[in-house]
Structure 1
Amino acid sequence: MSQFVRPSVLTFDCYGTLVDWETGQRRVFMEILSKKQANVTLEEFTRTFSTCQFHLTKGAYQPYRNILKSSLAQTLAHFDIAYDPADGEALVASMPEWEPFPEVPAALERLKERYKLCIISNTDNEIMAETLKRIGVRFDEVVTAMDSKAYKPDFRPFQLAQHRVEADGSKIMHICCDLEYDVAVAKQLGWQTVLVDRGQALSGSARPDYSFGNFHEVLKLLDY
């Protein structure tokens, strides 16, 4: 564990860190697969979707709703299941309805008393606007892939966030749930990193400065 240096800015990944991405995503996938009477496990489907999405975000920038639809279409094709445009629309429409983890809103309100807060997220502004309503906490800055015209793990979303919060990298702490998309890049920029590990499968060799199971433990680190 690294020596703690108090930051002035906290940046956050959103989906999977603040918002229960897995539950929301699994629910819509289950509905789609059930409708199609598909013989594929939810675990296999979700894993393939994640792989397809990662490859698409590494390409030329395109709106996130297109990424979602294309990832779903490729995943269904992988399992020889027919794709209907309504499937993609259902996935896009579900995302703004996904709820924050139970402890997150109160934790963020507490952290806001002492730190500048910023979201860095692989989404677009329209979806994020609805998500922020569900979180119910005002962030000082929000950076989406739509703003930076790039998706994490590209450096550009992080660099845009650092520019907007006007802080040296040594004063930024990034709180996230993924090693490859977030921790690896933030560490290269000289930011401190916290992994919120809720038991999800992780890939990548980067190691966070701190790892906790929920935001209650993050609060303890940050002197609450």
Structure 2
Amino acid sequence: MAFEFETKPKFVTFDMNGTLIKFAIADATREVLGDRLPAEIADAYLQATKAYRIDECMGDYKPFHQIIANSMERASRRLGLEYRESDAKAVYDIVPTWTPYPGVTAALNRLAEEVPLVIITNSDTEMGERLAANLEAPFKTVITAEESGYYKPRLAAFEYMFNKLGVTPDELVHVSASPMYDLRSAAILGIKNKVYVDRGFEHDEYWLGYERITDIADLPVLFGLPRPAAS
């Protein structure tokens, strides 16, 4: 099978939540708020919390539980809902229970036969390690926002990763389901080899110059490996 990239990378780096782990924060928020989230504004509220999460990630580092709390408080104030700190904590406490998308574990283990794997995640260290363990695959390291002091899409998060791994951008392949959080920054910093796992929650930004896949089983194929057997 043909190797898709010009040279074999030193590492394949991954976004985790939303790419490998099913990022179900909207479901968690609905579950926690229950009847206190009126149906007629639920979609607007969830869209607002999503927008405020990325806005919170762009400033000075704060723990991820505070990112969730601040985004919920700001969305609640905007839409006239009661905000409770206990709700934000309850949403945060659900996060480590999230599991991989179908096929992820098999694809990662197949790919690990060819090249070392790394995670760079917008998670606290303890949470990131717990979620990475849910993937049941070998990772060289898990780089968290708590460790680096920066959240993606901030460029400094990726620069920290380059320094920690001792690599230049052209020595990596970066994989993500989010152009907004990952692939735009990767392109700006010169990561030529990128893979967009299209999970259907962001628009295709093909001009960023990535390989687009819709089935995680196709990821090893880009590295000249056979598709993992269907589970």
Aligned match of 1:32: 32
Q: CA 1:201–1:185 in structure 2 vs 1: closer, same or farther (change >3 Å)?
A: closer
Which deviations, in whole Å up to 9, do the C-alpha atoms of 1:102-137 show, x marking residues without a partner? 111111111111111111111110111210221122
Q: Which shifted more, 78-87 or 160-169?
A: 160-169
Cα deviation for residue 91 of structure 1 reads 0.9
SS in 2 for 1:110: helix
Q: Which shifted more, 55-64 or 36-45?
A: 36-45
Cα deviation for residue 77 of structure 1 reads 1.9
d(CA) in 2 for partners of 1:121 and 1:222?
23
d(CA) in 1 for partners of 2:7 and 2:122?
27
Aligned match of 2:212: 211
Alpha-carbon RMSD across the aligned residues, in angstroms, is 1.9
Aligned match of 1:201: 202
Cα deviation for residue 188 of structure 1 reads 2.3
Q: CA 1:98–1:208 in structure 2 vs 1: closer, same or farther (change >3 Å)?
A: farther
Residue 14 (structure 2) pairs with residue 8 (structure 1): no
- The one-letter code matched in structure 1 to 2:180 is E
d(CA) in 1 for partners of 2:142 and 2:221?
25
Q: CA 1:80–1:206 in structure 2 vs 1: closer, same or farther (change >3 Å)?
A: farther
Q: CA 1:77–1:206 in structure 2 vs 1: closer, same or farther (change >3 Å)?
A: farther
TM-score, with normalisation over the residues of structure 2?
0.88
Cα deviation for residue 34 of structure 1 reads 2.0
Aligned match of 2:75: 75
Aligned match of 1:55: 55
d(CA) in 2 for partners of 1:37 and 1:182?
31
Q: Which shifted more, 119-128 or 158-167?
A: 158-167
Gaps of 5+ in 2: 226-231
TM-score, with normalisation over the residues of structure 1?
0.91
Asked if the contact 1:176–1:194 (Cα under 8 Å) also holds between the matched residues in 2, the reply is yes
Cα deviation for residue 170 of structure 1 reads 1.2
Aligned match of 1:109: 109
d(CA) in 2 for partners of 1:205 and 1:78?
34
Aligned match of 1:186: 186
d(CA) in 1 for partners of 2:43 and 2:90?
19
- The one-letter code matched in structure 1 to 2:14 is F
Aligned match of 1:148: 148
- The one-letter code matched in structure 2 to 1:193 is K
Aligned match of 1:223: 224
Aligned match of 1:17: 19
Cα deviation for residue 182 of structure 1 reads 0.8
d(CA) in 1 for partners of 2:177 and 2:59?
22
Which deviations, in whole Å up to 9, do the C-alpha atoms of 1:66-109 show, x marking residues without a partner? 11111111122222110111101111101101111111111111
Aligned length: 221
Q: CA 1:180–1:37 in structure 2 vs 1: closer, same or farther (change >3 Å)?
A: closer
